[in-house]
Structure 1
């Protein structure tokens, strides 16, 4: 929730989903999502953030993916090509800069 507040304060329109399955429903029903940010550890749903990142990269290859986690770094096959990882805790400015660069690169 802190990340959502930070991004909203920076001018992003934030769509929140409590787990991967809800995030997929958002992506299936909206065509204006410009970037996906996911945490690795999600308490519910059928997959973790790494699985969500790989699925989104496969189904929506134009949507950049940012993965965050306080549980360590990704292994060699965890992240899809082109995805970015930021370890927690992170500086809010780092998050904002990373997402802005993703959106500019995709545009």
Structure 2
């Protein structure tokens, strides 16, 4: 069998300086890869970060809902009607607690 003849030329053989630069570049890339893998493997830290993110979202949503509920409560107070009156006017079979009626109920039962 014959093997292909390889010619060595000065331009294809890296110099020691080029080899050192390649080694340093490979070390740098390997270090980044190891850091990325370590971050992915750190489940506890990832869980904490996710919990913090969800908590912040919940706080924002709670603020939005509170503002909305306050607005609805003010509208009910301004209307001057009580909940049973509104339920009867809307023809609902199941009463919905709201506004003055719910407040009166809680005062009677001591749930304030």
Structure of higher RCO (CA pairs closer than 8 Å, 6+ residues apart): 1
TM-score range, shorter chain: under 0.3
Larger-gyration structure (1/2) = 2
Identify the structure with the greater strand proportion: 1
Identify the structure with the greater helix proportion: 2
